[in-house]
């Protein structure tokens, strides 16, 4: 109120000044008349603006308060509608939608996991071959890992119509086909023989530790050479021999080797040999004699039974 009175007094004084100048402007020189006209115009503009504000100030205040009340009421109504719609009107529909999205998400997650998971192992037909002892038969089958970045550990046994063998532990590395054998598994030739896997556990190759598995495998694998089979004579029994060279930087603890004697496309015989250790830089010669009659052998394969991805397969370099 005090500010309004001060403004009004100021405007009134300027009005009196303008009237005074208008009254005396006819007596002023011509060069000052233009100045008086501009001053008079500025005063009129200012006076009109001040008078308009004084006359409409209360109205503008009421309009501002009303707009705020309306805006606040709209917010309250909007929040009330959302609450009512969410928990009363559309609750059932929303719940079904959320459930549908969850089911769809689980389906997509399952499809993604399935596409990224390991493919199943492939098993070959199991066969029984003479162990060199007429009263026992060795059992043989192979397992194939179709995955380039997964390896597996498992338990296996051979089952037949006449019974089953004891359970053994096995493994297979990425992208590998590996033979599995049980020496002297049955005392008579089994019928309906089949290889059974149990408790298969998949492990993914850690790309941070092993960026390129093929290069890593080449740096850890033993080299096998000079694998031969001799049928012997009347004095010397049949014998299989081979050489193992460890050109890696690692010592291997209690490695074993499975020797498969092939007669064309069929297995003619099986031999397993082992040693306590093969040190880095070491070369060892192995041999195993065969008891009994062996058919013609066309190929000799030697498979290291060493899980290179298992730390327990290695021994300390200092030993």
CATH architecture for residues 221-319: Sandwich (2.60)
* Fold held by 119-211: Immunoglobulin-like (2.60.40)
Model confidence pTM above 0.75: no
Sign of CA dihedral 61, 62, 66, 67: negative
37-54 pLDDT tens trace? 666 777 777 777 777 777
206-249 pLDDT tens trace? 999 999 999 999 999 999 999 999 887 777 888 899 999 999 99
Distance from C-alpha of 104 to C-alpha of 117, rounded to nearest angstrom: 20
* 19 band by pLDDT with thresholds 50, 70 and 90: very low
Sign of CA dihedral 289, 290, 292, 297: negative
Domain boundaries, the chain: 2-88, 119-211, 221-319
Same fold, 119-211 and 221-319: yes
* 4 band by pLDDT with thresholds 50, 70 and 90: very low
Q: Which residues contact 215 (CB under 8 A, 6 or more apart)?
A: none
State the average pLDDT for the chain: 82
Residue 81, both tokens: 């509608």
Helix, strand or coil, per DSSP, at residue 29: coil
């Amino acid at each position: 109120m005090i500010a309004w009175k001060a403004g009004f007094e100021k405007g009134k004084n300027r009005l009196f000044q303008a009237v005074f100048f208008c009254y005396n402007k006819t007596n002023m020189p011509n060069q000052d008349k233009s100045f008086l006209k501009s001053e008079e115009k500025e005063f009129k503009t200012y006076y009109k603006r001040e008078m308009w504000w004084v006359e409409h100030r209360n109205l503008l205040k009421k309009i501002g308060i009303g707009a705020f009340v309306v805006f606040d009421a709209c917010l309250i109504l909007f929040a009330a509608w959302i609450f009512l719609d969410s928990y009363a009107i559309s609750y059932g529909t929303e719940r079904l939608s959320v459930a549908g999205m969850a089911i769809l998400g689980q389906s997509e997650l399952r499809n993604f996991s399935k596409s990224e998971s390991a493919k199943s192992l492939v098993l070959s037909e199991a066969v029984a071959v003479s162990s060199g002892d007429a009263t026992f038969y060795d059992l043989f089958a192979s397992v194939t890992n179709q995955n380039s970045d997964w390896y597996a550990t498992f338990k296996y046994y051979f089952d037949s119509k006449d019974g089953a063998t004891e359970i053994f532990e096995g493994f297979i590395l990425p992208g590998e086909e590996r033979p599995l054998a049980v020496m002297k598994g049955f005392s008579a030739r089994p019928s309906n023989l089949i290889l059974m896997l149990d408790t298969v556990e998949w492990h993914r190759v850690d790309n941070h530790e092993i960026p390129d598995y093929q290069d890593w495998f080449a740096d850890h694998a033993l080299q096998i050479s000079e694998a031969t089979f001799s049928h012997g004579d009347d004095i010397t029994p049949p014998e299989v021999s081979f050489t193992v060279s460890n050109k890696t930087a690692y010592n291997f603890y209690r490695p074993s080797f499975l020797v498969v004697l092939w007669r064309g496309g069929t297995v003619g015989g099986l031999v397993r040999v082992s040693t306590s250790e093969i040190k880095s830089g070491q070369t060892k010669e192995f041999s195993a004699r065969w008891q009994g009659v062996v058919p013609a052998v066309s190929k000799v394969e030697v498979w290291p039974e060493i899980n290179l991805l298992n730390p327990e397969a290695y021994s300390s370099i200092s030993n």
